[in-house]
Chains A and B, each alone.
Chain A
Amino acid sequence: MNNNNPVIKIIASLADTKKHTLRISEKTIEKTRLTKQFLMELAEYCLFAAAVFRATFSRDFEFREFMRQCFQIGYKTLPLISVTGIIMGLVLTIQSRPALVNFGAVSLLPGMVAVSLIREMGPVITALICAGKIGSGMGAELGSMKVTEQIDAMEVSATNPIRFLVVTRVLAATLMIPILILYADGVGILGSWAGANLKGDVSFVLFFSQAFSHIGFHDFIPAVVKSFFFGGVIGFIGCYKGYNAGRGTESVGTAANSAVVMASLLVIIVDLIAVQITDMM
């Protein structure tokens, strides 16, 4: 065949164009499918949020279940937060001290650690730990209830499962996680004092008075406010993933895992937004 034939050249270039166009179409179809999937998932989140919001303000609040969840989330997470908080303060002190010594500013160590813990490290690290423990726990528990038809059983016995299972957990997480964060900040400063005494000799009273002399409301209030959002996000995502788990046992693990991942990601995003707002104020 004569490849220099102009007709054959035209046909070949048309075939190439068609192949190229088909490839573009496939990519477009894939992007459209992913966009549609994202928008549908977003719509599911919004519908779930609307149902939770309606159930929160309906009558017959499940106070007993709410208190039980506060105990589960708050009291049962204390040991983990205690260890994490102490290590946070200890590590921050050990890492920061040499740099401050070089600048002759080691007296600023208590204040620096306290501000870092209260403003950022305490809320974010504690929230990430809670996303792992509490978020995954909610995802697994509700996912397991979904798979074993316990949620259906609740619905058939004329109980609103969203009011009983989700609202109580979301509110308990929103209330207890800020308290855990404050607790983590406190034990973190304690850990920092222990770290300061590894290389020096600082009295407890002196360390704490130096630490708190550098903290103001402008450090404290934004951190407390964002910790409520952290708690709400962790509770909501954990419950959403569990409540919407599939019907097989594999879906329980998937729900727990995706609850942790999504809650952790949203904690970081909420923190970013909070920092921007605080910076503007």
Chain B
Amino acid sequence: MPETVIDIKDLHKGFGGQAVLANVTLKLYKGENLVVLGKSGSGKSVLIKCIVRLLDCDSGTINVLDQDVNALDGEALGTLRKKIGFLFQSGALYDSMTVKENLEFPLRRIRKELSQAEIDEKVMSVLTHVGLSDSMDKMPSQLSGGMRKRISLARTIVVDPQIMLYDEPTTGMDPVTSDEISALINEVQKKYKTSSIIITHDIECARGTANRIIMLHEGAVYLEGTLETFEQSADPFIKSFFK
């Protein structure tokens, strides 16, 4: 039985009386890419924000690396977050910093033992991995959308996280760039041995990256299985996604 890195049980989250997540139960196993599919507004982004406690859930348990996230205090939560990489939908690069400074920012705080030479080497390594080693001195405003997403991915993997959370990694990208991002996600899985949850409504991204898929519908788990399970399903809602 593979090791469980994230274990979510009966998760509930609502806003203003409206339930966004209702009774969600799922597991993420070590080394896998778990894709969470669903329509816009089905609660996918809320789910991964609850995992890192950017949002507090209303009820339920979330265990990450055998720690109950909801029970952790500030310092312990910070220590856990250092093991998780989060790729935001918009990239969330810091506008006032160059690409190099963006990558150094988490590295200086999470890997305090590294010297400046080691930091420079690590930054160059991940930038080369995402194919943007010549962008070091550029500001985020000088980058295209695809380049910003790749730099954001570089900033996330520079600290060697154990778990990666991707929030709509290919949204707003053209098909070629989307394929490049999906390929990068698989390379990150292989090279850094990460366990990942990928939130998307992009079927091609799901096809390119998923080891296992969970579909959310109206805040609950609708179906769970492999890509074949979904592609061969006769359910009209599933078929509408995979046509």
Contacts and interface: CB of A to CB of B under 8 A. Distances in A.
Interface of A: 141, 144-145, 148-150, 152-159
Q: Is the contact region of chain B dominated by helix, strand, or loop, or is it mixed? A: loop
A226 to B, nearest CB: 31
A269 B92 CA distance: 38
A159 B90 contact: no
Interface stretch (B79-87, B184-192, B205-213): B79-87
B94 interface: yes
Nearest to A68: B96
A158 B78 contact: yes
Interface string B85-100: 0101110111110000
Contacts of A155: 54, 81
Q: List 9 tightest A-B contacts by C-beta distance, closest first.
A: A153-B92, A157-B106, A158-B78, A149-B92, A156-B86, A149-B88, A158-B81, A158-B82, A150-B92
A117 to B, nearest CB: 35
Contacts of A156: 52, 54, 81, 84, 86
A154 B93 CA distance: 10
B223 interface: no
Given A148-B92, A159-B109, 6 more contacts: A148-B90, A148-B95, A150-B92, A158-B82, A158-B109, A159-B106
A148 B110 CA distance: 23
Q: Considering residues B78, B86, B88, B92, which has the most beta carbons from chain A within 10 angstroms of its beta carbon? A: B92
A130 B65 CA distance: 48
Given A144-B95, A150-B95, A152-B54, A157 B110 contact: yes
A150 B81 contact: no
A71 to B, nearest CB: 12
B94 A157 contact: no
B69 to A, nearest CB: 12
A152 B156 CA distance: 13
Given A144-B95, A158-B79, A153 B88 contact: yes
Interface string B33-69: 0000000000000000100101000000000000000
A152 B78 contact: no
B159 to A, nearest CB: 8
B154 to A, nearest CB: 13
A157 B36 CA distance: 23
A10 B94 CA distance: 72
Contact of A152 (B92, B93, B96, B110): B92
Contacts of A157: 81-82, 105-106, 109-110, 159
A89 to B, nearest CB: 35
A66 to B, nearest CB: 14
Contacts of B92: 148-150, 152-153
Q: Considering residues A144, A149, A158, which has the most beta carbons from chain B within 10 angstroms of its beta carbon? A: A158
Contacts of B94: 145, 150, 153-154
Contacts of A141: 96
Contacts of A152: 49, 54, 88, 92
Contacts of A144: 95
Contacts of A150: 92-95
A214 B135 CA distance: 59
Contacts of B105: 157, 159
Contacts of A159: 105-106, 109
A156 B81 CA distance: 6
Contacts of B82: 157-158
A144 to B, nearest CB: 7
Contacts of A148: 90, 92, 95
A149 B90 contact: yes
Nearest to B84: A156
A170 B109 CA distance: 22
Q: Considering residues A145, A150, A154, A156, which has the most beta carbons from chain B within 10 angstroms of its beta carbon? A: A156
Nearest to A60: B109
A157 B78 CA distance: 8
Nearest to B80: A158
Nearest to A144: B95
Contact of A158 (B49, B54, B110): B110
A260 B89 CA distance: 31
22 contacts: A141-B96, A148-B92, A149-B88, A150-B93, A150-B95, A152-B54, A153-B92, A153-B94, A154-B94, A156-B52, A156-B54, A156-B81, A156-B84, A157-B81, A157-B105, A157-B110, A158-B78, A158-B82, A158-B110, A159-B105, A159-B106, A159-B109
